[in-house]
Structure 1
Amino acid sequence: MKLNQEIHYKEVQRPNQVWIWAIVIGIAILMWIGFFRQVVMGIPFGSQPGSDMEVIMLWIIFGIAFPIVMLGWLRLITEVRDDGVYVRFVPFHLTPRVFFYKNITRYESLNYRPLRRFGGWGIRWNFSGEKTYSISGKHGVLLEVNGERVLIGSRAPERLVEVMDRVSRNDNK
């Protein structure tokens, strides 16, 4: 891996499905209501209320941290550089996962069904041994790397393949 490589293509994706936002915000609102009722007003929250400390911990995790992570930090960054394709799923990857051109035997743009093929979006594996990095949509680029199949979700898979073609040809010269 060379230092100071040129980034030939960069795509940053964030969750854009309304239903994800609704679920995250709904959970956060429920936690805020529970915190306010039980801790601030002293009215037990729920039919089997937990202790105030349990409510505070759930409020911190699901009322504050979870929405910040899901709606503020969560993103999929895909970069095409001189030596390969770099994928980073923030905040789960501290450093990018690198797929070097020398290890990629084949790649193609494709449309797929995330729920059927992988059970949804995110970092996932299926029973066929495929792995995916996806955040939304049904388009991506399928790489065969060292005998493994890795699907990278993309909003512009044709462009990603086009840049990979150009850069990998230059890398092999």
Structure 2
Amino acid sequence: MKTIDFSEVQRFKIWWAWIAVTALNVLFMYAVMQQVFLGKPFGPKPAPDVVLIFIESLLLLFLLFLFSIKLKTHIDSTGIRYRFYPYQFKETYIEWHELKDAYIREYNSYFEYGGWGMRTGGIKFGKAINTSSSSDKGLQLQFNNGKLLLIGTSRPDEIKLIIDDVIASGKINRRV
């Protein structure tokens, strides 16, 4: 078996969410500048200064939160490690022998799992972890106990080669 060392870091890439949050930040930053620093009321019924500052602070925190979201995946000869920051405080490790099957598949994050992030698709689809990468492909893992986990990837071809190699080496015993 070849040496396996695959790492991928994906970030939150829903462009319309970035535009919406950034636009709101710009609007409230402008409101704070106008009303708090220049003394010009913002709008016909201006909110108190403290309210504008509070809302802008929340929007900035939310923007930082979006920026902090990332899915780290590492695959090596012993198994798969992943961490979905900031939701998981420590890395999850899956050894190859825990798996009944592993393969790349196309998925629809909205219809199968109800969106992006750490999601559950019920009994049929299992759990999913994705960041809305530019790809609609993921690494589908089927555990020996029947549970399912899908890890989104923007590099499916590379992972497929690794999984094929792991299966060929007998580390994953495909059972029907």
Residue 73 (structure 2) pairs with residue 78 (structure 1)? yes
Q: Aligned ranges for residues 3-152 of structure 1 at < 5 Å?
A: 8-45=5-42, 50-62=47-59, 64-71=60-67, 73-128=68-123, 130-136=126-132, 137-145=135-143, 146-152=145-151
2:103 and 2:139 in contact (8 A); partners too: yes
Query: Structure 2 stretches of 5 or more lacking a match?
Result: none
The structural deviation recorded for 1:49 is: 5.4
The sequence identity of aligned pairs, in percent, is: 26
Query: Structure 1 stretches of 5 or more lacking a match?
Result: 1-5
Letter matched to residue 71 of structure 2 = L
Structure 1 vs Structure 2 CA RMSD: 2.7
1:82 and 1:171 in contact (8 A); partners too: no
Bigger mean CA offset, 42-51 vs 117-126: 42-51
Q: Report the TM-score when normalising by structure 2.
A: 0.77
Q: Distance in 2 between matches of 1:29 and 1:51?
A: 18
Bigger mean CA offset, 162-171 vs 93-102: 162-171
Q: Distance in 2 between matches of 1:149 and 1:95?
A: 20
Which has the higher Rg, Structure 1 or Structure 2? 2
Q: Report the TM-score when normalising by structure 1.
A: 0.78
Letter matched to residue 118 of structure 1 = Y
